[in-house]
Amino acid sequence: MHLHILGICGTFMGSLAQLAKAQGHKVTGSDQGIYPPMSDQLAQAGIEVIAGFDPSQLEPAPDYVIIGNAMSRGNPAVEYVLDRGIPYLSGPDWMGKYLLTNKWVMAVSGTHGKTTTACMLAWILEYAGMNPSYLIGGVPENFSTSARLTDSNFFIIEADEYDTAFFDKRSKFIHYHPRTLVMNNLEFDHADIFDDLAAIERQFHHLVRTVPASGLIIYPDDNDALKRVIEQGCWSDQGLLNTAQGWMVEAVLADSSEFNILYHNDIVATVRWDLCGEHNMANAMAAIVAARHVGVEPKTAAAALAEFQSVKRRMELVGEVNNIRIYDDFAHHPTAIKLTLAGARAKGIVEKRPGRLLAVLEPRSNTMKMGEHKETLAASVVDADSTFWLAPEGLSWSLAEAVAELPQQTVCYSVGELEQHLLDEIKAGDDVVIMSNGSFSGLHGSLLSQLKAKY
C-alpha cells in the first residue's frame, strides 16, 4: 500500500511514517519545515520527503493520503485530495485501524508529563524483556528513535488531547482504545481549540469510555478535574495515585533523585536515578503502576529507572563551560515551568552548586499568546534567581506588565538582545535553563559557543 503523508515532519506524523514503513508500506510525504531531528529519522528510514504542498506530488494517486492536524482547508494538496476523491484518513485514525488493532495499548495522557512517562514505561518494559512497540512525542535517550514497531503484543503511545484533523475535531486519543490508561493530570490548556476546562474533561471522559472493563485507568486521586472525569462514568479498574488507599511516592533525598514507591502504605520499591524533581517522581510512579498491570514487578521497574536516561529537551544538558551548565527544556505551561525550576533548584542545593539558577523563557504556545496563563507566569519562576523573557511576535498582551513585580527579570524583544543580556549576566557556577516549546532560534547552541569563546 502506498501512503502519502501531508505534514510528515511533525513529531507524531514522522513517527507514524516510520511505523508504516516498518509494516512494509511504501511511504512518502511532504511538509514545509523539513529539519532535524525528524528529517534525519525519515531519511534513515528511507522515506522520501517533498518540500511544499504542490498537488503534483499526488500523481499518481497513492492508496491513502494521511492528513496531519496542521493541515487546513485551502492547502493546495488538501484541496486536490478532496477534489479528486482520493481516500484520506487522519494520522490517529490510521494508527487505530492499522497499527493498534489486536495490540495491548498502553496510553499515557494528561496536560503534563506525557512524553516523559511514556518513555519511562517503554524503557521499563524493554528492561523487563518485553520488547514493546511505541510512538512517543519526543526522542527517548534510551532508544534511538521516537517510534518503533516490534512483534510484541504491547504498544505504548503518548495520547494527546489535541484535535485530530480539520475534518475530525475529537481528541487524537479517542482513536487508540487503550487497555492500560494513564491520566497524569489535567489542567486548562490549548485555548485555541478548547473553550474551557470542562470541554477538555469531556474529551477525557470519551477516552475513559473506550477502556474495557478488564482494563486499568491510572490517575491521581487528588486531581479534581480527573475526579470529575471519572465521576461521569467509569467501567474499568482504577489505579489510584497519591492516596494511602492506593499508590504513593515519598522522597528520600530532597531533589527526588532517590524515592520510595508505596502501595497501601507499604514500601514496594526504591528508585535511585539521575533525574530530579517531584514531577518526575510522579511520572515514575504512574509508569511503575502501568507496568505492573502487564506483569512487571515494582522492584524490576525501579531497577529499570535506575538506568533511565530521560528524553531529549526535558532538562537536557546541552553543554557545560567554566562550570556553567546550559539546559534545554520543553516546559511551556506555568505548572510545568514551576515544577521544572523547583526540581532544578533542589538539584542545585543537593549538588552544592556554587552559582545561581537562571531561567530563560519564551511564551510562544498558542495558549500563552492568547494570554490564558499571563496571571500565573510570574509565580511559575519563583525558584529562579533571575529570569529572562523573550516576548514573541503576535503576543496579544504585555509580557512586561505580567512579570513587572518580579525582582530580577529582563524582558527582551529579540533573540540577539536576549543573548547579549545573558552573556553579560552569566557567571561561573550558574545553571541556565532555557524553556520553550520551539527552537528558540538556536539560542542554546549559540550561547554555548559564545561562552566557550569567552572563557
What are the cell numbers at 210? 473506550
> Nearest CA to 44 among 79, 6, 17, 12?
17
| Angstrom distance (rounded) from CA 329 to CA 360 | 10
> Nearest CA to 110 among 188, 164, 163, 170?
188
Given a cut of 80, is residue 45 above it in pLDDT? yes
135 contacts 16 by C-beta, under 8 angstroms: yes
Digit-coded pLDDT (tens) for 314-365: 778 888 999 999 998 887 788 888 888 988 888 888 788 889 999 999 887 7
Arithmetic mean of pLDDT, 48-60: 95
Instruction: Report pLDDT for 26.
Output: 96
The proportion of the chain whose per-residue pLDDT surpasses 70, expressed as a percent, equals 100
Instruction: Report pLDDT for 38.
Output: 80
So what's the architecture of 100-305 in CATH?
3-Layer(aba) Sandwich (3.40)
Arithmetic mean of pLDDT, 192-198: 89
Instruction: Report pLDDT for 392.
Output: 81
Arithmetic mean of pLDDT, 200-224: 97
Residues of the chain with CATH 3.40.50.720: 2-91
Instruction: Report pLDDT for 453.
Output: 86
Q: Which CATH superfamily includes the segment(s) 316-454?
A: Mur ligase, C-terminal domain (3.90.190.20)
Sign, CA torsion 120/332/210/216:
positive
Strands (E), 166-312: 168-171, 180-183, 216-220, 237-241, 247-251, 258-263, 266-272
Digit-coded pLDDT (tens) for 60-82: 999 999 999 999 999 999 999 99
Q: What angle do CA 32, 134, 178 make, to 5 degrees?
A: 110
Average pLDDT, the chain: 91
Residues of the chain with CATH 3.90.190.20: 316-454
> Nearest CA to 279 among 325, 327, 326, 315?
315
Instruction: Report pLDDT for 166.
Output: 95
Digit-coded pLDDT (tens) for 364-378: 777 777 777 788 888
Given a cut of 90, is residue 441 above it in pLDDT? no
Residues of the chain with CATH 3.40.1190.10: 100-305
* Cα of 218 vs its chain's centroid, Å: 18
DSSP state of 84: H
| Angstrom distance (rounded) from CA 139 to CA 38 | 10
Helix, strand, coil percentages, rounded to 5, for the chain? 35, 25, 40
**What CATH number labels 2-91?**
3.40.50.720
Least confident of 101-105, 225-229, 254-258: 254-258
If you search the block for the grid coordinates 479498574, which residue do you land on?
Answer: 237
Given a cut of 80, is residue 394 above it in pLDDT? no
Arithmetic mean of pLDDT, 254-274: 94
